[in-house]
Amino acid sequence: MKLYELNNFLYETFKDYLLLEDYLKNGLEIEGEEEINKVLFSVSFNKNVAEYAIKNTFDAIITHHGIFGRSFIDFTGNYTKKIRDILKNNISLFSFHLPLDKHRTIGNNASLASTLNFEIIDEIDVGYICLNNNKLNIKEICSKIYDEIDKKIKLTLIKKCDFLINKNINHYMFSGFNVLLNNDDIPKKIAIISGGVSENSIKSAIINKCDLFITGELKLHISDLCFETGLNYIALGHYYSEIFGVLNLKDLIENKFNLNCEFLNDENLL
């Protein structure tokens, strides 16, 4: 297919989310070869991904984390080599950051809710507030998420194990994920925001009387706030909370077009 056809399809897929204020240019960031036959998908655009795309002659890369920064003239420092290399090899780069978090059907947060059979009832930041109608406890929630991720990418860096880390702050590992377990109640209302999380988002979850917050990163000041307010908190890891959208987008494009598509699992615990 032609580059403009892929670009148009991606625009149509995300057009309802492209006005979100973001830290990168969502869509086509680098224009490469006109003819697209092989597309590489990854969570992030980095040195490993660029080198893999070049070595395996991909025509385009589609990522969740692309080239961050509001100024797209200043390609200096660490960006210089990887951008120069994919330009020299005529590889296009597409990125969809917050739109791929918020997308209601293929996005990261909607996918987490679907994995758990949660009912989405409201929005929070680029995520959702959900109801736990099946009455899953927190261990079961972690187990289901682990199993779904493992089915998609075959986890190698985290193991499905449960143990107490620090009883002073109720810090546990459930299925290899960081959990602040402030009570044993089955959560009724859950906030889900993949990736990083802001203090405003946590405060919104508290105001909305959520029992559990599911996100990517574990942050000290937010863990303190959860401990102080009794909000249960699951940190899946930034990478693991954001594989769903890219994989869903890969499946969507693979099923619609005659393209050779591959997901590169550049697994990252951080």
At which residue do the structure tokens 């810090």 appear?
171
- Domains of the chain (ranges; CATH) run 3-96 (3.40.1390.30), 103-241 (3.40.1390.30)
Residues 6+ apart with CB under 8 A from 41: 61, 62, 63, 246, 247, 249, 250, 261, 262, 263, 264
pLDDT tens track for 103-131: 999 999 999 999 999 999 999 999 999 99
In tens, the pLDDT along 172-212 reads 999 999 999 999 899 999 999 999 988 889 999 999 999 99
> In the prediction, which pLDDT does 219 show?
85
Cβ within 8 Å of residue 195, ≥6 positions away = 101, 108, 215, 216, 217, 238, 241, 242
Helix, strand, coil proportions of the chain in percent (round to 5)? 35, 25, 40
Tens-digit pLDDT string for the chain (270 aa) = 999 999 999 999 999 999 999 988 899 999 999 999 999 999 999 999 999 999 999 999 999 999 887 655 566 677 788 888 999 999 999 999 999 999 999 999 999 999 999 999 999 999 999 999 999 999 999 999 999 999 999 999 999 999 999 998 899 999 999 999 999 899 999 999 999 988 889 999 999 999 999 999 988 888 888 888 999 999 999 999 999 999 999 999 999 998 999 999 999 887
pLDDT at 151: 96
State how far the Cα of 127 lies from the Cα of 40, in Å rounded to an integer: 26
Retrieve residue 220's tokens: 């000290």
Q: What is the pLDDT of residue 224?
A: 84
The pLDDT, as a whole number, for residue 72 is 56
pLDDT at position 232 is 96
Q: In what order do the strands lie in the sheet with 189-193?
A: 119-124, 127-131, 189-193, 212-215, 232-235, 177-180, 171-174, 163-166
Model pLDDT, residue 223: 81
Between the alpha carbon of residue 206 and those of residues 70, 156, 168, 221, 229, the distances in Å are 31, 34, 22, 15, 8
Q: In which order are the strands placed within the sheet that holds 27-30?
A: 27-30, 92-95, 60-65, 38-44, 260-263
Residue 79: CB atoms within 10 A of its CB come to 14
What does the pLDDT read at residue 37? 97
pLDDT of residue 225: 87
DSSP class per residue in 102-130: H-TTTSHHHHHHHHTTPEEEEEETTEEEE
The C-alpha angle 137, 143, 146, rounded to 5 degrees, equals 145
Of 202, 196, 197, 194, nearest to 241 (Cα)? 194
Provide the pLDDT for residue 218.
85
Q: What is the pLDDT of residue 217?
A: 92
